[in-house]
A and B are shown apart, each in its own frame.
Chain A
């Protein structure tokens, strides 16, 4: 039935080409009107639904400790030290500017001018901003220096140990744009200039800058990829009109599917921003139609007949490759991660559209081509005379004649690749999505070298409420203090802060600033009175951020020097080990951005392993149905499997982390790389079945490689050309995707043409039923 409908669609399109084209253009314009409503969303939080456990628990922690989701860290560095009139004056002015910036939660900005300091001078206890005004004269400067370096809550947090870098922590109000605030801050520091250098870092900066770049890339790289493909096509076919028709095919599918997505109200995530390039590449599958059309034109000399015969010959493989590709993307719909789902659905939808266009719009466009120009162009399409075809024939012949050598070489490569895959490390690091020399990454690196760290995680330690206000007990405080020291021994943990630091500080200050009292006092009552005293003068958020209102839970701030998801895993493991070594009825639970990144990272991995396995099964099923034989499906499967394993082997050997873009690609690659095998085996078998007198396997193999094989090669080259533009993108995930797809296409095309012949020859007894075995 399916066949019947598509055949009538082709005939209808050939009969009424103008109507088909007109209708297509009309619908395209309709979808185009949705485009102005486009929104982007780069917040990793939205990768998971709001009901996800980690989001619910993170929100709860943020609420009970009055924390902010997002924090920008501003660094001010002076090679000769920041403790001088000039630099401190700048810090004061910059801080004032930041406080006035909309989107900044001014009340909780932590820097020299706002952070609360606890001191005792001349018997007078003082809790107030460390530096309300820049110090006047040497004495005040010396006093500031002493206060800064004597207080462990400041060193590594707002000033580096070497005194050359200062930091301002800028929390953002809900919904504020990190990039907009970062831009304003850059303006503010830009006005100061001077020998100091300034850095703006933090998760919201990376995330929102990435979002803006993503948008720009979508606008630059998708058309660029289209242009490259157009040029390559023109070189292949030498006909401007047909090259444009193929290009339109892709553009139409992109506009329909993106318009549909935007129209439904979905925002564009990083994944879906790549969809246009994917669809453009998938559209190259129609090259098989063109390829065959050229050969047929040469043979038939009648355009309409050539079109219909072409569609008859390639219709089946084209439909099945579309099905396999659609399946490869559709498995993503079963994942947990929202943008991945959206992307899968989007590309699957676009692939189906492309195929419908292949059976309607493309044949309709064929009818407009002048016959002479086709004939002229197809002169080169002769197996005997085309150099490419001869080369392909020889390659396939190598596989057919020396099957053992080819098979064993492949196996050796495969084994090496498997070794490589064992070296793959799972990790995700959003800052590393930027290039090494980018402003975002430089700022992050400099700040992490000098200070406690720009990535923030929390560990909430709490008791289940046997004792009222348990956190105020000396045992609980010492427990938390021990936990902090244990965490700080990890190389990537820069600084930890908790209520213990306040208690110790007050204890010391109330004992004539005697360093011997920089410790947790022995009575719960005293701790309670210290904290009360502190709360009488400090900003309310100082305490709120580190203890919950009922004093059942303490929140330990853990500053990490890297955005690696695995760093937070290390923190959690260290906390667990500490718990085992120090039995106290306290529970420790992780939270914060760093924790979210970790959960999300793990989720991506499991999702993708699940998706990969699912895609393997589905694609095998599609192959088996298409070839009507599981044995042939297995033959078609081998080059696919080899391609994927070889690429992951290379990823492992290169030491590239298995991050979100790569893991998503693993799923997709199956659906795309299988196309060539489908074309090859379908055409090979129909060639055999065409019933030439004595069908010789080798002859059929060489023919398949030379004629449809040329289509496969053209397809692979076009596909690779489309993605190669992504290699020049300024963001690494795009580069990764580009490199991955380029190598996958070229590899799977080569494997298909060399390896499938070898397998057919080796397994011919098994593949062909007894009695019909060809020679």
Chain B
């Protein structure tokens, strides 16, 4: 995974609550398992009409947001199916930061496995960010978001911050400790599973 850099980008406002993973990546694309190339399926039914022409009223089709790396959305983002394809699609499209007042559990966890930073912010702040038209900066190292007019901090678990900043993944980290795990297992009183 790439290590997470400071992001400076305009925000793409997706002013909807309960955005579910069926909308993020519809079912017909779940058969595909390559992690790259999913960006073209992102929000497929919102982006395209039946003839696969772009729908001009959907925010992702506004050229203004073309290079945006930050998506801002409403409560409970990523609810529904556990499909990790949802995160693959957001990342492949170009989003590396998702900001919302709350996230669905499995989606939230899947983000960190793929180098995407989900940020939980207060509802009122999210509402302001949905109106933000200028560039904003997301600085994970210092846990700070800067807009043209304000500066705010955000919370993140220290381990999840580390894996994003260093571009690590859980499995690789665990195997760094293989010897220690084996030692622990030998001494453990719980029946071993190894």
Same assembly: no
Show the binding face of A for B, using Cβ within 8 Å.
Answer: none
Name B's A-contacting residues (CB within 8 A).
Answer: none
